[in-house]
């Protein structure tokens, strides 16, 4: 990856961290509103959040491949991408077809648990990386494991949003450090 792409990924990870909690709160606010404008805003946030997540996961995977020759996290990354895309697609369907709203809600809870399991799996697999990422590897991995556990517990989702935001800050820092090392 080029320095420019690494810096861009770093800024996007920071943006993800900053937006995570307000988007989480705003989603609940929009769900209560109803109406076309609220649904459009919810759909836009859903698409943007999913695209951001997918981009960051792909960028991290490329960094791991190109810089460290590390492929042990490929499976959880691919599964996380698929789970996030499927979850977003079904949620969008639920926004369009209100008669599916109840079924989509149940599916959403199932997908939160699935994503939580995959997030913890990702953190555990990434611990195998033979580099310390300048001291950020273990904290980043443990934050992903904790975030996954919080999602699985459902009642701890707000805490998971917070730990996920901190993990995004760390991911941004990892990208920035990789960009500096590439200079």
Predicted local distance difference test score (pLDDT) of residue 41: 87
d(CA 165, CA 16): 7
Express each pLDDT in 11-58 by its tens digit.
999 999 999 988 888 877 777 777 888 888 889 999 999 999 999 999
Predicted local distance difference test score (pLDDT) of residue 29: 78
The domain spans of the chain are 3-181
Q: Give phi and psi for 136, each to the nearest 5.
A: -95, -15
Closest CA to 27 of 118, 110, 100, 108: 108
Q: Which residue has the higher pLDDT, 102 or 149?
A: 149
Predicted local distance difference test score (pLDDT) of residue 25: 85
b/e burial code for range 66-84 (CB count within 10 A of at least 16 → b): eeeebeebeebbebbbebb
| Mean pLDDT within 131-146 | 97
d(CA 112, CA 169): 22
Answer whether 90's CB lies under 8 Å from 140's CB: no
Q: Which residue has the higher pLDDT, 33 or 168?
A: 168
| Mean pLDDT within 158-168 | 96
Predicted local distance difference test score (pLDDT) of residue 100: 84
Q: What is the residue-wise DSSP string for 132-146?
A: -TTTTHHHHHHHHHH
Dihedral over Cα of 17, 20, 23, 29: its sign = negative
Predicted local distance difference test score (pLDDT) of residue 122: 98
Between helix 36-68 and helix 157-181 the angle, nearest 10°, is 40
Express each pLDDT in 62-99 by its tens digit.
999 999 999 999 999 999 999 999 999 999 998 888 88
pLDDT band at 125 (very low <50, low <70, confident <90, very high): very high
Closest CA to 60 of 127, 10, 109: 10
């Amino acid at each position: 990856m080029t320095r420019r792409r690494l810096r861009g990924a770093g800024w996007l990870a920071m943006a993800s961290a900053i937006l995570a909690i307000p988007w989480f709160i705003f989603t609940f606010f929009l769900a209560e509103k109803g109406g076309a404008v609220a649904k459009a805003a919810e759909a836009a946030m859903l698409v943007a959040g999913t695209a951001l997540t997918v981009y960051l996961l792909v960028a991290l995977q490329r960094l791991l491949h190109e810089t460290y020759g590390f492929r042990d996290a490929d499976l959880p990354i691919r599964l996380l991408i698929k789970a996030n895309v499927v979850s977003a697609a079904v949620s969008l369907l639920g926004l369009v077809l209100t008669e599916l709203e109840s079924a989509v809600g149940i599916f959403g809870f199932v997908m939160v648990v699935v994503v939580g399991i995959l997030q913890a799996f990702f953190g555990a697999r990434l611990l195998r990386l033979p580099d310390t990422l300048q001291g950020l590897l273990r904290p980043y991995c443990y934050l992903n494991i904790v975030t996954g556990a919080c999602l699985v517990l459902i009642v701890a989702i707000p805490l998971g949003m917070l730990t996920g935001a901190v993990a995004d800050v760390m991911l941004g820092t990892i990208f920035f450090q990789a960009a500096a090392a590439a200079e």
